[in-house]
């Protein structure tokens, strides 16, 4: 269950920083501002180049997922 936080006034400190800890434990966000001034933050994560290549190859990704789900101990790759 996700806890929703009511609107909270956020003020920037003298260095232009804001504390977002009450909204998310995620340390990284992608941010963009919209024409009306709305700032949108999306949780982000760093992905290695190898992981990115894996996700771009559905056949290999499926084989890895099957191997990870296999509890027999015998894995064919």
The answer to whether position 61 is within a domain reads: yes
The answer to whether position 42 is within a domain reads: yes
Q: How many residues does the chain have?
A: 77
The answer to whether position 76 is within a domain reads: no
What confidence score (pLDDT) does residue 67 get? 86
Confidence band (pLDDT; 50, 70, 90) for 2? Answer: low
The answer to whether position 37 is within a domain reads: yes
Number of domains making up the chain: 1
The answer to whether position 49 is within a domain reads: yes
Q: Which domain holds residue 26?
A: 21-71
The two structure tokens encoding residue 38: 């709305």
The answer to whether position 6 is within a domain reads: no
Cβ atoms < 10 Å from Cβ of 35: 5
The two structure tokens encoding residue 64: 């890895």
- pLDDT of 6-43, one tens digit each? 888 999 999 999 998 888 886 899 999 999 999 999 98
């Amino acid at each position: 269950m996700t806890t929703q936080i009511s609107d909270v006034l956020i003020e920037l400190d003298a260095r232009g920083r804001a504390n977002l800890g009450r909204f998310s434990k995620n340390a990284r966000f992608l941010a963009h501002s919209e024409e009306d001034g709305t700032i949108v933050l999306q949780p982000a994560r760093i992905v290695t180049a190898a992981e990115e290549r894996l996700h771009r190859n559905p056949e290999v990704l499926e084989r890895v997922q099957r191997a990870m789900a296999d509890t027999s101990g015998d894995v064919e790759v």
